[in-house]
Chain A
Amino acid sequence: MYAALWRILPGPMWVRILIVLVLVALLLAALVEWVFPWAADTLLPQESTVGG
């Protein structure tokens, strides 16, 4: 899977590495911004109030 993705990427080695780094950074940003907060609220609700 990842080997196939790597082959799809254009350009020489350093361009590919740059593209991968940018993609990983975008992925991490999306995770932290949207996916992780959603998962925390859905899977692991934290209750700190009484009677709630």
Chain B
Amino acid sequence: MSDAEIDQSPETQPVLYASRREARRAEAAAANEKVVGVVARPRLSVTGVLGEALITAGVLVMLFLGWYIWLNDIVAGGEQQQAAEVVQEELQDQWERGEAITERPTDPGEPAVSVAPAAGQVFGALIVPRFGADYTRAIATGVDVQTVLNNRRIGIGHYSETQMPGEVGNFAVAAHRTTYGAAFGAIDQLRLGDRIYVETVDGWYEYSFRGLEYVWPTGVDVLAPVPTVPGISPTDRVLTMTSCNPRFSAAERIIAYAVFETWYPRAGGPPTEISGVVQAQG
């Protein structure tokens, strides 16, 4: 349709104006001169309403995508970060109240191992300097999507069938690669030797990143006490992180492995690399 066809108002003059505003002014002036009083108004038409509805739908889709890939991550990520900082304070408080486990390993080099808490309960924090200088996220028991992974106060879930931090075997956790704060959004940025710290009421467990692996969503053997080799008894302490791959997809899973290096009892204070993250809350 051309403009001439759309504009069926009887007042239309075959005059070319420099701009629409000018044209409108001229029209208004003409109307005043005639003292018509009633301005011709376009009626509701099916195509008009349909067109506006489609434009509205398009704007809504754009808004949704903007929220989905950008705004929600910033908001949820910020909330998860703040929540984790509160968790770290609470862990310190719990320790000061003497709620850390009393049964210590006889060898001081052996890490203390907490008892696994109930499903959905926050028991620690994951601190990964590679993910950001102040990066910390709360870890809760279980990998339930609604209550743990999508939770704006948590973000990281511990596969409850796997071992606890510092325990011989596999401490496996899951988090989103994209959306809902994207706690593991930078999982593919990890480099050999990067430190990954798990904080619990007992102290800090230091793991060293070893490598990435890509598996199908059915690849549950990455959760085995010896990852990918189910059925044999473990001798090492391993940290396994799972997230989705590629980004914004559920087609594959990206797996990050780290091995236990050492641990820092809470009495001795946090390791120097993350002392800023930990003391920032004090």
User: Which of chain B's residues have a CB closer than 8 A to the CB of A7?
Assistant: 41
Count residues of chain B with CB under 8 A from any CB of chain A. Answer: 42
Query: B14 at interface (Cβ–Cβ under 8 A)?
Result: no
| Residue contact B176 to A52, C-beta cutoff 8 Å | no
8 Å CB interface, A1-52 against B: 1-4, 7, 28, 31-32, 36, 39-41, 44-52
Query: B175 at interface (Cβ–Cβ under 8 A)?
Result: yes
Given that A1-B53, A48-B242, A49-B174 are contacting pairs, would A39 and B223 also be in contact in the complex, using a CB cutoff of 8 Å? no
Q: How far is the CA of A42 from the CA of B4 in the complex (A)?
A: 45
Cβ distance A52 to chain B, nearest Cβ, rounded Å: 7
Main secondary structure of the interface of B (DSSP, over half): mixed
The residue from A31, A39, A47, A51 contacting B220, defined by CB atoms under 8 A apart: A51
Cβ distance B215 to chain A, nearest Cβ, rounded Å: 7
The residue from A36, A47, A49 contacting B72, defined by CB atoms under 8 A apart: A36
Query: B259 at interface (Cβ–Cβ under 8 A)?
Result: no
| Residue contact B143 to A49, C-beta cutoff 8 Å | yes
Name the residue of chain B whose CB is nearest to the CB of A2.
B52
User: Which of chain A's residues have a CB closer than 8 A to the CB of B60?
Assistant: 31
Q: How far is the CA of A15 from the CA of B222 in the complex (A)?
A: 62
Among A4, A40, A47, A52, find the residue whose CB has the most chain B CB atoms closer than 10 A: A47
Summed over the interface, the residue pairs from A and B with CB atoms below 8 Å come to a total of: 79
Cβ distance B198 to chain A, nearest Cβ, rounded Å: 18
Given that A36-B64, A46-B180, A52-B143 are contacting pairs, would A1 and B52 also be in contact in the complex, using a CB cutoff of 8 Å? yes
| Residue contact B244 to A48, C-beta cutoff 8 Å | yes
Cβ distance A34 to chain B, nearest Cβ, rounded Å: 12
Name the residue of chain B whose CB is nearest to the CB of A39.
B64
User: Which of chain A's residues have a CB closer than 8 A to the CB of B159?
Assistant: 49
Cβ distance B76 to chain A, nearest Cβ, rounded Å: 10
Chosen A-B contacts, 6 in total, with CB atoms closer than 8 Å, are A46-B177, A46-B248, A48-B176, A49-B242, A51-B223, A52-B143
Q: Contact residues of B with A, CB < 8 Å?
A: 41-42, 44, 48-49, 52-53, 60, 63-64, 67-68, 71-72, 143, 145, 149-150, 157, 159, 174-180, 184, 215, 217-220, 222-223, 242-244, 248, 250, 253, 255
Given contacts A3-B42, A51-B223, A52-B143, 20 further A-B contacts (CB under 8 A): A1-B44, A1-B52, A3-B41, A31-B60, A31-B63, A31-B64, A36-B68, A40-B68, A40-B72, A44-B248, A46-B177, A46-B180, A46-B250, A47-B253, A48-B176, A48-B184, A48-B253, A49-B157, A50-B217, A52-B217
